[in-house]
Structure 1
Amino acid sequence: MKPKILIITGYGVNCEAESAHAWELAGAEAVQVHINDLIDQPEQMRDFQGMMFIGGFSYGDHMTSGHVFALRVKHHLRTELQKFIDDEKIIMGVCNGFQTMTKIGLLPGFDNEYFEPKVALMQNDCGHFQNFWVNLKFETGSPCIFTKGLSQMPMPIRHGEGKIFTTEASVIEKIEQLGCAAVRYADEAGDPAMDFPANPNGSLNAIAGLCDPTGRIFGMMPHPEAYLFPENHPNWDKQKLDGTLPSQGLGLKLFENGVKFLMQK
C-alpha cells in the first residue's frame, strides 16, 4: 500500500498543491487537512506515516514567520505530534514549514527534546525578501533520510527570514557533531558559501536545512516541491541544448527518498 502523507493546510500557506503532487509523483498518497480540522480531531494524525509542514506565509507571518502556526500546533497537537515522532514516522518542512518546525522545537531535536526551540530562523542579512535559485550541497555524513545519496543540486529559494542563528556556540557545535546540518548553501565549486548571493541569508555555517539526530525529521528553506519537472529550472532550454537536462525535476528526489524509507519499514 502507498504510504499516506499528511499535508497540513491553513491560513496563509500556499504550497499545498505542488507539495501534494510531489509526494504523489514519488509514490505516496497525499491528503490535505486544514489545521483547524486537525485541531478538532487530532487523532487523525494516527492514520498517516508522514507529515509535511508546507511553504507560504502562515497567518501573514504575524510576529515572525511561522510563529502563530507553531503556537497552535504546540498548544493543541503536542500529544499527538509526540506520538507521531515516537512511532518513528517522518516529518518534512519547507520554507515557512521549516520556520514553523524550529519554533515548535522539532529541529534540531537534540536528546529527544522536540518542543524546546534551540535555533531561530531570522531576517536575511540583506534585510529583505529574496527569490532566486541557489546551489545546494548535501552532507553525506548526515543521518537525514530525505537527502540520502544526494550530493549537489540547484533549487529555488523565496524567503525573507531564512538565516539559521543561535547565540549558543554549543548548539551549532552539536548540530555539526551529530550531522544535523544536512544541507548547505554552496558556491559554484560545491563548497559551503557564506557570501551573498550563494548564501542568500547569511545562515550560520551556510546551513540551508536541518534534520534531527534520527534523520526522520527534516526541514529546509529552499523549495524542492518547486523543482518537480526539468522545465522548472530557469535554464532548462539551455540544458536541453547541451544535453544536461535531467529526466525529472531534481527536487523530486527528496520526496522519493522519504517514500523509499517508509516502504522499507
Structure 2
Amino acid sequence: MMPSARFADLEGASVLITGGGTGIGARLTEGFARQGARVAFIDIAEAPSRLLCEALAREAAHAPLFLKADLRDIEALRGAVQAAAQAHGPITVLVNNAANDIRHDAETVTPSEWDDNLSINLRPHFFTAQAVVPGMQKAGRGAIVNFTSTSFMLNMGDMPAYTAAKAGIIGLTKGLAGRYGKDGIRVNAIAPGWVITERQRQLWVSGDKLEAHIARQAIPREMGPDDMVGPCLFLASDASAMLTAQTLIVDGGLL
C-alpha cells in the first residue's frame, strides 16, 4: 500500500528514477507521481514501462516520462538525463534504483562477467549523479537516493560481484555527500532487506525459505515494493533536510 504521508516540496519537483519501470522501481515511480512530482524514469523493459505510464496518466497529476536506455551505455544514460531535464526542468531528485541481482559462482566468474555486473549495479549510480549534479548546483539544492542492499551485510555468498557493488554504493554515497553538501545536495542510501517482487517470487522464493526469513525479522510479515516508497520519499524531501551520507536499512528489523 502506498504511504499516506504527503511531502509538499515534492509536488512539481523534477524527479529521475533509474530502473523505474518494474519491481521496486515501478512502485517508486508511482509513489513520486502520486506526490504530484514530474517523474521521468529510465528502463530497458519497454512493455511494462509503457503500461505503467498509461496507468498513472489516468491517476496522477503528471504522467511519468519513460526513457528507454541501457544503463551500461553511459552516453545513452547521459542522453536520457538530458531528455528528462528538458521535459521537466533541472532534476532535483535522483533515485538510483536500477540493479540486477543475478546469482553467480565465485569460482567461475570471468573478468567480462565481473565488469558487466558492476556496469549495471555500481557504475550507473556514479555517472547518473555526475549528470544531474550541475542542475542541482544551479538550483542550490538536490537529493540523491542510492539503493544498495543488505545482502553484503549478511555475508551472502552466491553473488559476489553484486554484493561488492552494493557495498561500493555506500562508499560512493558518502563520498558524493562530502563533495556536494556545500551545494545543498544531500546524498543518502537505502538498504532494503528481502523485498518480494514478482521477479524474486519467480526466481528465488522456494519452500519454506521465505517463511524462515520472515521469522527472523522483528516485524514478521512479508516485505513488498511498497515498503520502500515511504523511506525514499522521506530521504528525497525536505523532511530530511539535515540528513546526508547515511544508509537507511529497511529490512523489517532483521539486522
Q: Which has the higher helix share?
A: 2
Q: 1 or 2, which has the higher strand percentage?
A: 1
TM-score norm. by structure 2 comes to: 0.40
